[in-house]
């Protein structure tokens, strides 16, 4: 494995076998320092199992794992104090307040000063918007509030790496926007954020880099811009002669969609061998009345469905 100085998380051939099958199948992750890295895939694709291995909570069947430049699980005691995490939902004492829960959790950290404990807790609660509910028993918290409290726990001290498993689970749209802003602000402090999600819209708005997992295998990885460029561009033709336009685009080898578009609209892929003005010229010369013509890159939804063969949730 190479490039450890620039990579906060790096795996090589990471595999986890459970029940006679590979739930994580030989994946090679490369998470750049300072990124918001989206770990994307349908539910059940192996995301949480991978995260548990990264945090030393589960052992790989084979492969190598490095976090913050050190081997995991061998160096877990040295590495994990520099990592904050929210995995598989937060767990707290329901009969204690939010503040009391965080005070107990902070007291278990032998690397921090007891003298500044309350200040750290108050600051973390403020950052996730829970100051007003800090004295309320956690048993009366909503799911979204518990999720915020879990993130606050991960932020009690400065971390080089924050790992968040479905951080917007249970949050309303306003809460989701606030967590998105918070995640972005962490990178300004030098923290790398690794975010697991099955929500495409959140990943697109929050992350700088993405890896896509499908049935335990890594099917794509790179910056968000690189993945967007990987999809073939598409054209959208608005015309009263939709049937004729469909025939022209088919003749050009553009694979127009057969359904899903309005009656006066035809959409199709734009191959690299054709320029948009060539397509317009062919349409006009074939007698198609073109009221509108646009080109657009395939969205992440189209790309990921093509990669995985499965749908993703695209809204909260």
CB 120 within 8 A of CB 155: no
Contact call for residues 255 and 206 (beta carbons, < 8 A): no
Same domain, 154 and 63: yes
Higher pLDDT, 244 or 177: 244
What is the per-residue pLDDT for 230? 66
Q: Is residue 178 part of a domain?
A: yes
Torsion of CA 87, 92, 94, 95, to 10 degrees: 180
Last-in-domain residue among 222, 249, 269:
222
Q: Note whether residue 309 is domain-resident.
A: no
Q: Does residue 65 register a pLDDT over 60?
A: yes
Length, in residues, of the chain: 316
Q: Are residues 38 and 107 in the same domain?
A: yes
Tokens of 305: 């469905």
Q: Is the pLDDT of residue 315 over 60?
A: no
Q: Are residues 97 and 167 in the same domain?
A: yes
Clarify whether residues 211 and 243 are in a common domain.
no
DSSP structural state of residue 32: E
Q: Residue 310: which pLDDT band, with cuts at 50, 70 and 90?
A: low
183 and 291 both lie in a single domain: no
Residue 37's CATH number: 3.40.50.300
How large is the average pLDDT for residues 51-78?
A: 94
Q: What pLDDT was estimated at residue 259?
A: 61
Number of domains in the chain: 2
Domain final residue pick, 222, 254, 272: 222
What mean pLDDT is reported for the chain?
87
Read off the pLDDT of residues 278-293 as tens digits, 9 standing for 90 and up: 999 999 999 999 999 9
131 lies in the same domain as 64? yes
Both 241 and 174 in one domain: the answer is no
157: part of which helix (H) or strand (E)? Answer: none
Q: Is there a domain that residue 275 lies in?
A: yes
Residues 6 or more apart whose Cβ sits within 8 Å of residue 145: 98, 130, 133
Task: Give the domain CATH number at 249.
Answer: 3.30.70.100
Taking the model in full, what pTM does it have?
0.76
Range of the structural domain that residue 139 is part of: 7-222
CA distance 134 to 98: 5
Residues 269 and 236 occupy one common structural domain: yes
Considering the domain architecture, whether residues 245 and 212 belong to the same structural domain is answered as no
Which residues lie below 8 Å from residue 138, measured CB to CB, with a gap of 6+? 92, 93, 94, 95, 96, 97, 98, 101, 146, 149
Q: Per the domain annotation, does 302 fall within a domain?
A: no
Question: For position 296, what pLDDT does the model report?
Answer: 78
CA distance 235 to 298: 10
Cα angle 72-45-153, degrees, rounded to a multiple of 5: 55
Q: In the structure, what pLDDT confidence band is assigned to residue 178 with cuts at 50, 70 and 90?
A: confident
Same domain, yes or no: 218 and 237: no
pLDDT tens-place string over residues 69-123:
999 999 999 999 999 998 876 689 999 999 999 999 999 888 889 999 999 999 9
């Amino acid at each position: 494995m190479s490039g450890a100085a620039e990579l906060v998380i790096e795996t090589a051939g990471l595999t986890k076998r459970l029940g006679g099958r590979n739930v994580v199948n030989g994946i090679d992750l490369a998470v750049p320092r300072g990124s918001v890295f989206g770990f994307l895939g349908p539910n059940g694709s192996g995301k949480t199992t991978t995260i548990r291995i990264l945090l030393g909570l589960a052992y790989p069947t084979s492969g190598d794992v490095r976090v913050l430049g050190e081997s995991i699980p061998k160096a877990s005691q040295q590495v994990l104090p520099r990592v904050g995490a929210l995995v598989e939902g937060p767990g707290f004492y329901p009969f204690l307040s939010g503040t009391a829960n965080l005070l107990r959790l902070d007291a278990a950290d032998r690397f921090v000063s007891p003298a500044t404990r309350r200040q750290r807790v108050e600051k973390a609660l403020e950052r996730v918007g829970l100051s007003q509910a800090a004295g309320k028993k956690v048993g009366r918290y909503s799911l979204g509030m518990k999720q915020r409290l879990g993130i606050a726990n991960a932020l009690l001290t400065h971390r080089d790496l924050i790992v968040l498993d479905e951080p917007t689970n249970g949050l309303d749209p306003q809460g989701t926007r606030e967590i998105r802003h918070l995640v972005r602000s962490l990178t300004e402090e030098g923290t790398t954020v690794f975010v697991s999600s099955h929500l495409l819209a959140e990943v697109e708005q929050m992350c700088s880099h993405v890896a896509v997992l499908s049935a335990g295998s890594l099917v794509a990885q790179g910056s968000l811009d690189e993945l967007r460029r990987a999809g073939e561009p598409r054209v959208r033709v608005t015309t009263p002669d939709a049937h004729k336009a469909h025939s022209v685009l088919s003749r050009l080898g553009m694979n127009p969609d057969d359904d899903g578009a309005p009656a006066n609209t035809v959409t199709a892929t734009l191959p690299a061998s054709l320029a948009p003005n060539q397509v317009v010229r062919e349409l006009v010369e074939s007698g198609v009345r073109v009221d509108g013509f646009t080109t657009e890159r395939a969205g992440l939804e189209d790309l990921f469905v093509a990669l995985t063969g499965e749908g993703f949730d695209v809204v909260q």
